[in-house]
Amino acid sequence: MDIVFIKQLEVISTIGVYDWEKSLQQKLYFDLEMAFDNRPAAADDDINLALNYFSVSETVNKFAQSHQFELLETMAERVASLIMEQYPVPWIKVTLHKPGALPKAQSLGVQIERGTR
């Protein structure tokens, strides 16, 4: 199976456990890896047979902007489910980064894999 990926997709969302976090928007970064058979698109050089990177990124961006969660784990789970429901993706790995959340660390986050590769 082939892997289609989107790295460092920047989204703005409201996320966090603490009261002060719930009143502001923060920058998050998604890394998405998705199993997808690229052979039909490649054979015909046909964009209509490919996984639409732009559409996937817009789906994630709109979801992150319109939902508020306390946990990164919840956001990652919901995004993985959403992509697998809306696109023909049998497996996904979602890495969600929250930069600046820990002193002395560039970023923190979670990584999940769902489905069958």
Supply the pTM of this predicted model.
0.93
Catalytic residue, chosen from 22, 93, 98, 104, is 98
Run of H or E including 34:
strand 26-36
Alpha-carbon torsion, ordered 91, 5, 26, 14, to 10 deg: -30
- The residue extents of the domains of the chain are 2-115
Is 98 a catalytic site residue? yes
The Cα 95–Cα 84 span in angstroms is: 15
pLDDT digits (tens, 9 = 90+) for 7-64: 999 999 988 887 777 788 899 999 999 999 999 999 999 999 999 999 999 999 999 9
Q: What is the sign of the dihedral through the CA atoms of 71, 104, 6 and 95?
A: negative
The Cα 88–Cα 51 span in angstroms is: 8
Give residue 92's pLDDT band: very low, low, confident or very high (50, 70, 90).
very high
Architecture of the domain delimited by 2-115: 2-Layer Sandwich (3.30)
